[in-house]
């Protein structure tokens, strides 16, 4: 028996999570385990009603679960950034989910915009660092004549930052990225371990040629840790170049590790080459704590409540959740059921089919139970 938390969130989030739970329950029936779900009412509606994003009680309760199944957040009634930072990023940071695992895999039957590429050519995994870099929230924005002497004095890993700025520019803004040796080490080690279990190739993506302090440290750590993995081929790519190679030669890649912001950007590109955001899952992992699994697409508010959203990315994220808690066979069965559904045309409109959200969930659940 597993106790799992679920957060439907905003827009299409609740609908797709419903289908994800349906499929995970079916997998439990087939592989003899039970999932006990606890739903949390977190998102735009509650924020608009009560003004709370995440409460201490939410966090305390959520921390009792090994995993959270997360739909999506984002709502037109709320200014961009509030829900993203106040809920999604806060959960990632609070639970120290320092691994953001994003498989880029072309399933059988899916059309990729990359001419001539087949499922065997597109099968790699991006490990995005998930708690540092330009996501740490240190920055400021101010206008001329405003006198700001100490802009930053924030504790982060027990380090105090200080910065004096004098400027007569009309308006100025800055944002600071931070990487710590330990923060880089833990995600890089995770990636080497993953590469050891796959095709033994690790590609690091950075911009050490320009942002040489922050990504210079990243690179140093990578080179140091590589010496413990002589069987893994290690290579470095700059982030601008990687966007070319993902498109031209996706078959080169096995495990790709990268700091937070570049990871955000290149995984949308990855999602597109694997058939679109409707098929892109992600896992926010703390190997020792509460992890969180979600589709990487957003809340698509204009489709809310219409029953047309493609639940496949969410269902695939559910498979990653099961893999994470040790149900490897069930996890693999879910991905293969998604693949079968696609091959038989049981898909939503975005993939050329006629089924609705729950039709796809039903079809996948049925394949799993009958297998």
List residues binding ligand IPM (CB under 6 A): 84, 88-89, 264, 296
Closer Cβ to Mn ion, 266 or 333, answer by number: 266
State the residue number with the nearest CB to ligand IPM. Answer: 84
Residue 156 binding: pick among Mn ion, ligand IPM, none (C-beta 5-8 Å cut-off by kind): none
- Nearer to ligand IPM by C-beta: 239 or 365? 239
State the residue for tokens 């690790």.
202
88 binds, among Mn ion, ligand IPM, none (CB under 5 to 8 A by kind): ligand IPM
Name the residues that contact Mn ion, by CB under 5 A: 264
Q: Which does 17 bind (CB under 5 to 8 A by kind): ligand IPM, Mn ion, none?
A: none
Residue 127 beta carbon to Mn ion: minimum distance, rounded to whole angstroms: 15
Q: Which does 75 bind (CB under 5 to 8 A by kind): ligand IPM, Mn ion, none?
A: none
Select 62 or 266, whichever has its Cβ closest to ligand IPM: 266
Residue 96 interacts with which of Mn ion, ligand IPM, none, CB < 5 to 8 Å by class = none
- In the sheet with 123-129, reading across from the earlier edge strand, the strands are 35-39, 2-9, 67-72, 291-295, 281-285, 99-105, 123-129, 255-258, 201-206, 233-238
- Provide, rounded to whole angstroms, the least separation between the CB of residue 264 and ligand IPM: 4
- Give me the least distance between CB of 268 and Mn ion, in Å please: 6
Q: Phi/psi class of residue 125: alpha, beta or left (left: φ > 0; alpha: ψ in -120 to 50)?
A: beta
Which residues make beta-bridge pairs with 283?
101, 293
Taking the CA atoms of 82, 83, 84 and 89 in sequence, report the sign of the dihedral they define.
positive
Tokens of 324: 């994470």
What's the closest the beta carbon of residue 363 comes to ligand IPM, in angstroms?
A: 27
- Picked from ligand IPM, Mn ion, none, the partner binding residue 84 (CB below 5 to 8 A depending on kind) is ligand IPM
Q: How far apart are CA 166 and CA 147, in angstroms?
A: 7
> Of 144, 123, 7, 109, which Cα lies nearest the Cα of 67?
7
**Nearer CB in complex with Mn ion: 99/333:** 99
Q: Which is nearer to Mn ion, 9 or 361 (CB)?
A: 9
| Cα–Cα–Cα angle for 111, 264, 130, rounded to 5 degrees | 130
Minimal distance, residue 311 CB to ligand IPM, in Å: 18
- DSSP E strands: which ranges in 199-254? 201-206, 233-238
- List all residues 6 or more positions away from 246 whose beta carbon is below 8 Å from its beta carbon: 253, 266, 269, 270, 273
Q: How far is the CB of 110 from Mn ion (least distance, A)?
A: 20
């Amino acid at each position: 028996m597993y106790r799992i938390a679920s957060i439907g969130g905003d827009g299409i989030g609740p609908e797709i999570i419903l289908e994800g739970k349906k499929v995970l329950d079916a997998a439990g029936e087939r592989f003899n385990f039970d999932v006990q779900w606890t739903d949390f009412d977190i998102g735009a509606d509650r924020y608009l009603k009560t003004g709370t994003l995440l409460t201490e009680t939410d966090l305390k309760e959520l921390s009792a679960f090994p995993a959270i199944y997360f739909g999506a957040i984002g709502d037109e009634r709320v200014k961009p950034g509030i829900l993203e930072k106040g809920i999604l990023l806060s959960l990632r940071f609070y639970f120290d989910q320092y691994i953001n695992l994003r498989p880029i895999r072309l399933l059988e039957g899916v059309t990729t915009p990359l001419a001539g590429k087949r499922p065997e050519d597109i099968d790699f995994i991006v490990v995005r660092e998930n708690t540092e870099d330009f996501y740490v929230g240190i920055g400021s924005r101010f206008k001329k004549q405003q006198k700001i002497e100490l802009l930053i004095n924030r504790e982060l890993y027990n380090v105090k930052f200080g910065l004096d700025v004098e400027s007569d520019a009309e308006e100025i803004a800055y944002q600071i990225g931070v990487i710590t040796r330990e923060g880089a080490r833990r995600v890089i080690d995770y990636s080497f371990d993953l590469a050891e279990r796959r095709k033994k190739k690790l590609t690091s993506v950075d911009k050490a040629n320009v942002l040489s302090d922050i990504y210079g440290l990243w690179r140093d750590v990578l080179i140091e840790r590589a010496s413990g993995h002589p069987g893994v081929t290690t290579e470095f790519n700059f982030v601008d170049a990687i966007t070319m190679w993902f498109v031209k030669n996706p078959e080169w890649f096995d495990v790709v590790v990268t700091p937070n912001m570049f990871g955000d950007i290149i995984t949308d590109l990855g999602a597109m080459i694997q058939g679109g955001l409707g098929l892109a899952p992600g896992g926010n992992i703390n190997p020792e704590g509460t992890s969180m699994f979600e589709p990487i697409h957003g809340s698509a508010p204009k489709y809310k409540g219409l029953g047309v959203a493609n639940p496949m990315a969410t269902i695939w994220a559910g498979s990653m959740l099961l893999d994470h808690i040790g149900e490897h066979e069930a996890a693999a069965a879910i991905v293969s059921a998604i693949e079968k559904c696609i091959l038989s045309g049981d898909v939503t409109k975005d993939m050329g089919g006629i089924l609705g959200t729950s039709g796809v969930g039903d079809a996948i659940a049925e394949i799993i139970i009958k297998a």
